[in-house]
Amino acid sequence: MISAVAFIAVAIVLCAAAVMAIFGITNVAMSGPKAIENDGLHRGLAAPAWSLPDSSGRILASPSAKPFQLMVFTDHSLKSFPSVVDGLKILASQTTDLEIIVLLAQDNAAAVGVLRLLGLGDLPVVTGTPALYGRYNVRVTPFVIFVDSAGRVRASSLVNHEWQIMKLWRLANIPLSPDPVSRARRFPGGRQPAGVV
């Protein structure tokens, strides 16, 4: 009888421990720094091309005719990142070489309303698909990807603050250098600065 009770107690404790361990492993693997580092696309890669209508029916495409294009992967939750909103406003007002497009994962009227409230109503909003997010390897938002007119990724990262957007914009302006020699010259020690992905 004692053995039976002990077995039940031990089994329940082990089941609970297993469930908690699985939750822990999953949490770290999905939202830990290493998992986030793997999101987006590498600098220099060809970004997926697409052509989609924005909310006013105008057809937008990637790559853009402008020298640079900034794709902002987000939804109505952007209101929780006022610093990111500030960064987008600064870029939109100061740069003519850059086309900024908000890319939604699905039709989201709330997101369009929120963008208008945040003062980003002038930005074109394109409704994409979860599959398109997948092609850009984007799981968490707000995520930004800078693409040049040749359709090459210049910088991509999850962003939480204005300074991150500004830093990525500066890095996006650095010419691509496919050869390892010049790459090593730009990033001594073989390491890219944080944010270059």
Partner 1 sequence: MDVLVLGAKAALAVMLLVAGGAKLADLTGFAAVVRLFIPLRGLAPAYKYLATTVAVAEVILGGASLSFPAVEWINLVVLAAGCAFAAVSVLGFARHRGKSCRCFGALSRRTFDVPGIVRSALIAAFAGVATVGVSGSAVRLGAAAQILLLAAAVLVLAVSFTAAKALATVPQARSR
Question: Minimum distance from CB of 23 to partner 1 (Å)?
Answer: 7
Question: Minimum distance from CB of 16 to partner 1 (Å)?
Answer: 8
Q: List residues near partner 1 by CB under 8 A.
A: 2-4, 6-8, 10-12, 14-15, 18-19, 22-23, 25-26, 29-30, 35, 38-42, 45, 137, 139, 197
Question: Minimum distance from CB of 90 to partner 1 (Å)?
Answer: 28
Q: Which is nearer to partner 1, 18 or 150 (CB)?
A: 18
Q: Which is nearer to partner 1, 136 or 169 (CB)?
A: 136
Q: Which is nearer to partner 1, 99 or 157 (CB)?
A: 157
Residues constituting the chain: 197
Question: Minimum distance from CB of 36 to partner 1 (Å)?
Answer: 10
Cα dist. 177→53, 95, 163, 187 in Å? 33, 24, 25, 11
Q: Among residues 148, 147, 130, which one has the least CA distance to residue 139?
A: 130
Q: Which is nearer to partner 1, 66 or 139 (CB)?
A: 139
Question: Minimum distance from CB of 14 to partner 1 (Å)?
Answer: 5
Tokens encoding 119: 């003062």
Q: Which is nearer to partner 1, 45 or 92 (CB)?
A: 45
Q: Are 115 and 123 in contact (CB under 8 A)?
A: yes
Q: Which is nearer to partner 1, 18 or 110 (CB)?
A: 18
Question: Minimum distance from CB of 21 to partner 1 (Å)?
Answer: 9
